[in-house]
């Protein structure tokens, strides 16, 4: 593969068990010192690729498309920055809704619901029904020719999660300085940490140090 076509390395930690929740987690340290991981359109492509929503081939085509935008087209493409902006809006509406469900369901924002509904509807316009092996399936129209493809895929992923029973397993990391979202698929539904190797071990170490201080 030529160097210019190589896919970027993987900077995202996908621990949530669902792309929509990993998407929310792409704003790291949200409640302390927010660190934006989606800084440009290439980051958005990298995230959707790592999440399994876009293939290698689709990402390469979309990256090439960003260098051949023609504003004179009859139906011009949205600018990459505009797609990223809309994706960030989607992420934050999703974050507002999911954290409200965890912390205070009564505080669910009507504005967030309206924004999500509108975005889900817009994404659905780009799907079509087809038959395959005797079954009806939803498929996407020309993802690799549409710069907004990452936005549509993330919107559909969020739609699928929010309207499924999986949302009942929604949790936030017990670390107040983290609070990354995840689906608790543990046997007894007692998972507390986004990742035991990071937040879990860190909190264990803090409790140990506290006990040592009290005993000394």
| 120 has a pLDDT exceeding 90 | yes
User: Which range in 82-86, 107-111, 209-213 is most confidently predicted, on average pLDDT?
Assistant: 82-86
Structural domains counted in the chain: 1
SS3 72: coil
Return the half-sphere exposure (C-beta side, CA atoms, 13 A cut-off) of residue 87.
Answer: 33
The pLDDT value recorded for residue 9 is 58
pLDDT: which is higher, 84 or 211: 84
Parent domain of 56: 3-215
196 — pLDDT class (breaks 50, 70, 90): confident
Cα gap 201→177, rounded to integer Å: 14
Q: CA 43 → CA 9, 88, 172, 176, distances in Å?
A: 11, 12, 24, 27
- Please work out, in degrees rounded to the nearest 5, the angle formed at the alpha carbon of residue 13 by the alpha carbons of 11 and 15: 165
CATH, residue 210: 1.10.3300.10
DSSP secondary structure letters along 103-133: H-GGG--HHHHHHHHHHHHHHHTTEEEEEET
74 — pLDDT class (breaks 50, 70, 90): very low
Beta bridge partners of 28: 35
Alpha-carbon torsion (116, 121, 125, 131), positive or negative? positive
Mean pLDDT of the chain: 86
The pLDDT value recorded for residue 199 is 85
The pLDDT value recorded for residue 36 is 95
SS3 95: helix
DSSP assignment letter at 188: T
Residue pair 69/79 in contact (Cβ under 8 Å)? The answer is: yes
**By CB neighbour count within 10 A (0-12 exposed, 13-18 middle, 19+ buried), where does 78 fall?**
middle
Return the half-sphere exposure (C-beta side, CA atoms, 13 A cut-off) of residue 53.
Answer: 24
| pTM for the whole structure | 0.85
- Name which of 21, 43, 69 is nearest 181 in CA terms: 21
């Amino acid at each position: 593969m030529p160097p210019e076509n190589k896919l970027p390395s993987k900077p995202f930690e996908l621990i949530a068990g669902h792309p929509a929740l990993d998407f929310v987690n792409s704003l790291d340290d949200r409640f302390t010192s927010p660190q934006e991981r989606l800084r440009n359109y290439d980051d958005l492509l990298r995230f959707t690729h790592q999440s399994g929503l876009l293939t290698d081939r689709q990402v390469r085509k979309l990256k090439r498309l960003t260098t051949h935008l023609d504003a004179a087209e009859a139906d011009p493409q949205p600018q990459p920055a505009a797609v990223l902006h809309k994706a960030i809006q989607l992420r934050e509406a999703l974050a507002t809704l999911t954290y409200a469900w965890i912390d205070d369901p009564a505080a669910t924002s009507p504005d967030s619901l309206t924004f999500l509904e509108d975005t889900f509807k817009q994404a659905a316009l780009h799907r079509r029904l087809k038959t395959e092996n005797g079954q009806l399936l939803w498929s996407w129209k020309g993802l690799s020719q549409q710069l907004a493809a990452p936005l549509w895929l993330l919107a559909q992923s969020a739609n699928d999660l929010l309207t499924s029973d999986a949302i009942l397993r929604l949790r936030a990391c017990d670390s107040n300085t983290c609070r990354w979202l995840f689906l608790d698929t543990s046997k007894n539904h007692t998972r507390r940490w986004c990742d035991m190797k990071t937040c879990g071990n860190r909190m264990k170490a803090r409790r140990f140090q506290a006990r040592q201080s009290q005993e000394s």
